[in-house]
Amino acid sequence: MRNALVVHEIASVISFQAFGESFAGQVLHACEGRFLVELPDMEADVDPVALLHTAVEAAAAHLDHPLEPAEGPAFAPTGRVVFGYVMLPQLTGSPSWDADGDAPLVLSLGREDLHMLRIAYSSGGGFDGPYEPGPWRWYLGHRVPRDTCISETRVIAPALTGEVAAEVGVLTAEVLTGEMPLPR
């Protein structure tokens, strides 16, 4: 596996070995990192609210019934993170994502501050520098992002288009129904 990563020039991306992360997780993060570096529209102007609307519509179509968000889609820059989010209430039969069992599913499309992430990865060493926007990424979880990072499950999606937003919407519907588990 490691030889294949070297051949495909992915191994060099695995520079930060997360404590306790499996080799498979490291490979997935390395592939995602390589994938994001090669995205032509990484710096494109994005309307996260419009893409979230598209995702919710696709989720509702997949479920074959209307899906009323509990909150959003809304744009919510906070701290050093810029993102849009939508809260989707649990459906009958939805799995529990929190200790109480009643948390909504939160779909986010956001940009983390790469400078603050480097500080976090280095155990908090460093100073607050200028905001350095990272790539746009999709996330699924049960909390609205706050402060400097989005600590939810990342969804690897190839581009910031309506078609991809619809695919993320189908994935979201599958998580809502429990057909696909939400990794913790």
HEC string for 134-145:
EEEEEEEECCCC
Residues of the chain with pLDDT under 70: 1-2, 5-6, 8-44, 77-79, 117, 120-127, 146-151, 156, 158, 183-184
pLDDT at position 171: 93
pLDDT at position 93: 83
Residue 137 CB coordination number (10 Å)? 19
pLDDT at position 34: 61
pLDDT digits (tens, 9 = 90+) for 142-160: 877 766 556 677 776 767 8
pLDDT at position 172: 94
pLDDT at position 16: 44
Long-range CB contacts (within 8 A, 24+) of 1-5: 1/27, 5/30
pLDDT digits (tens, 9 = 90+) for 57-87: 999 999 999 999 999 998 876 667 778 899 9
